[in-house]
A and B are shown apart, each in its own frame.
Chain A
Amino acid sequence: MNRHESDNLDRLLSNRLKKALDDDGRAGWLDVRERAGMSRTVWHWSRARVVLVAVALLLGVGACAGSTGVIPWFNQKPSIEVPRLAPPCKAKNLSVSQDFGYFQPPGQSYAYLTNTGSRACSLAGRFRVALVDPEASEPRLFLKHASRVIDPLEPNSLLRSVPPRQEVVLEFFPGSWCERGSLPKWAFQFVGPLVGSERAGTVTVSPG
């Protein structure tokens, strides 16, 4: 038997033996590692398994933290002290100032309302702003726009009880009003919002 024939015989025997011994058994390297005292490591896990474990850990930590107080503030909701609703601000206790320089269409404008009274009063709700003719025999509302008092810090609490000498800002949009050309003789009228059954006072500011 020459070398070539011998090699072919090797292949024949190998193929036949492997075929007779073929088996679809499954390997288990992780089992080997565990038995050898090596812990399973995450880099051997599938991505889905890592994500599942991470989510489970997060949920577990959250649940533990909430129930055991490990994180004291975990289950606490931020407490905002909402002051009692004060009586509505009266016109005599409100001073209004406005920078008419801002009155440039189509921009917005601001009026500054200050509680000049000795007690806290409420400005919660929407104002109505009117452009009126103070020289007319009967003050004539020219246009009305609903506007709101803004307080970027605590809109829900400060407006319910504006302390004395506190200033709040009223935002409105005169830019969309008509007949702006006759503005110098017109005045702005701020009609306070309803608080309960009472309405805050009406304040008129004439252009200065």
Chain B
Amino acid sequence: MDRQTRAIEDVYSRRYQSFRGALAGIVGSYELAHDVIQESFVRALAGRNGYRGEGPLEAWIWKIALRTALELRGHAMEQPLADAFEPELPEPGRDEELAAALKELPPRRRLVVFLRYVADLDYREIARVCEISEGTVAATLAQAKAALATSLGYSNPDPQELREVAE
């Protein structure tokens, strides 16, 4: 097994659940998310020699995943990735307040929120995946965060709750 294959397998085994959760929100179901993950990693393996090491490997795979998701949903491939999805909770009943708060956000902000808080990508990785600048990522995330904090009552978060989260 070559080095690239091992690295891709490592991303898969460590990050499968993150991919699954974030993609479930992006494509609308866990089953479809799994299909997208499998297909994305197949493509990543097939095209591993095309990865030149520019940027993190995980971001490269995420980009493949979003393009695969677009393709599977029959969306036009020319569409900018940052604006191609309308992520939401696949099972809104599990947290109706959060589901409603997310729906208030524009699609691009929702996507950045999912990539940041569920997929755990940093600003640089999100910028690469969504083909936007890091500054745009930072601004988009700040706006989304502020809106969510307001919707969810985190504008003046309970200090006890913050301490528990911090711990």
Contacts and interface: CB of A to CB of B under 8 A. Distances in A.
Interface of A: 5-23, 25, 27-29, 31-33, 35-38, 41
Chain B CB count within 10 A is highest, among A5, A11, A25, A41, for A25
B38 interface: yes
B21 A21 contact: yes
Nearest to B18: A18
Chain A interface, DSSP helix/strand/loop, else mixed: helix
Given A32-B12, A35-B38, A10 B20 contact: no
Contacts of A29: 9, 12-13, 41
Interface residues of B, number: 44
A27 B12 contact: yes
A27 B38 CA distance: 9
Interface stretch (B50-58, B70-78, B128-136, B157-165): B157-165
Contact of B117 (A13, A33, A38): A13
Nearest to A6: B145
A6 B138 CA distance: 13
B126 to A, nearest CB: 14
Chain A CB count within 10 A is highest, among B17, B90, B91, B117, for B117
Given A21-B90, A21-B118, A31-B38, A9 B9 contact: no
A7 B149 CA distance: 13
A16 B98 contact: yes
Contact of B165 (A15, A18, A20): A15
